[in-house]
Structure 1
Amino acid sequence: MENQKSSSSLKAVIAVLAILLVGSLVYIYKMTSEADTAKTELNSTMTEKESVMKDLQDLKSTYDAAISENTSMSDELIQERDKVVSLMSQLSKSKGDVASLSKYRTQFNSLQANMKVLMTENENLKLANTTLTTQRDSTVVVLGESRKNVEALTGQNEELSKAVEMGSKLTVLNTRGSAFKVRSSGKQIETDKASRADVLRVSFTIAENAIAKSGAKTFYVQVIDGKNNVMGDKNTENFGENTLTYSFVTNVEYENKTMQVTKDLKGKDFVKGTYFINIFDKGQLVSKTSFNLR
């Protein structure tokens, strides 16, 4: 009888130990799996952080190269480059969690999009300046010869007049649209959210043109919102057979030098979507761009 009791007790002990052993193995497996998962996530976030940092460094190098060319857009390029440097500093100090890395990647994508637009405009500006310089130099030479041979070069003078007329037209570049929130202090903060916007800013560059007529110049600015509505004054002007509905008029005093034009369009309840900006010299479209509000 006592042997049977001892045997039963031993079996009970063995059963308890077996249960504890199985529980321990399950616990160890779970902890190991969680540790492996955490390690994998950590490695992934570190790789993403390095990737974003490299992309930002490449973006900065692109701006550095463009700034070294010392064009009339240098100030704007420097401002964008400084935004990239600031984001690099913030990223280097970040803990590298998934949420923050997603935010930095989104900010990088926005900066990269701005860079592509600025690089295109910078190249167009350099090309326009080169073309205008060539036209000006060739026009001066031809005019000098024309004074000596007026009767013999009548036909050439007519062609020259056409070339001067084309070359004297103003070139509008670097057109940009953006939205700002105006604080009670009057400080304006750029935003890409429609719900926060109080004012839209339109800016563009008039390129240098030595042979253009200086003086008062009028440009008609048309701003179309995300629902395809013309914003602002909505005034109408006729140019021959064409009718233009515009948001506002901007008048400038042009002195044959490169100049920056900026004007704000106030509003409220801005809609989400793509906004289009068109710049007209009388009835002729001379520049256009677009931007998004979310």
Structure 2
Amino acid sequence: MENKQSSSSLKAVIAVLAVLLVGSLVYIFKLSSDTDKVQTVLKTTETEKESVLKDLEQLKTTYDAAIAENTSMSDELIQERDKVVSLMAEVKKSKGDVSAFKTQLNFLQNKMKAMMAENEGLKKQNTVLTSQRDSTAVVLTESKKFNEALVGQNSELAKVVEKGSKLTVLNIQSSAYKVRSSGKEIETEKARRTNMLKISFTIAGNEIAQSGDKTYYVQVIDSKNNVLGEKKNISFDGKDLTYSFTSTVKYENKTVQVSENLPGKDFVAGTYFINVFDKGELVSKSSFNLK
């Protein structure tokens, strides 16, 4: 009877131990399974974190390249680049789920695409404007050269017109006379008999010259370098001129014959010089001899 009771107690203890063993095995299996799941989650989280950081690094590289182009959007691009750098720092510090960072990453990627498109548009506009500016500069340079050429041509033309509009004095003639008390004039070649010179010259016609009164200063110099006649002095542009007489004519763009008398006495033999001045400019000259 006692042996039967002992056997029953032993079986009960064995049964309890068996239950405990099974429970322990189940718990160990579950614990091992949970550990594997945690490790899998941790590995997945770390992979996602690296992926997010890689995408953020690409964003930063794209912004750096765009900023280096120094466009009008540089300040805005720098602000967005700084946001990417800030998010990278947060991701690196994170220990858990990075899904929230993925949302921010998507937002920054979309913003970057929009800004890059806008930046490319501005670059194209700048290229067009630069081309237009260069073309305008070429046109302006050519226009400047053309204008300078015109100014030069106009200056030369003005000189030609000025030169062409000047009157030509030619055909200076001179004769010596003995004027008697009766007024009769007798031409002579001898100095001792001369008491008057007749000086004449021609003003050529010129259609582009200015018409009106023209005054010429006539200078007659004898063989001893004396100025005959009035011997009056006048100054033109700081240069003094001593002249024998003046001759004023009404010029109407047609050829005019001028003749003036120069009375005197004690004429000496030798060569006489006649100079005709238009103001201070010598416009014609000639010479003659008295015996």
With normalisation by structure 1, the TM-score equals 0.47
Structure ID, larger Rg:
2
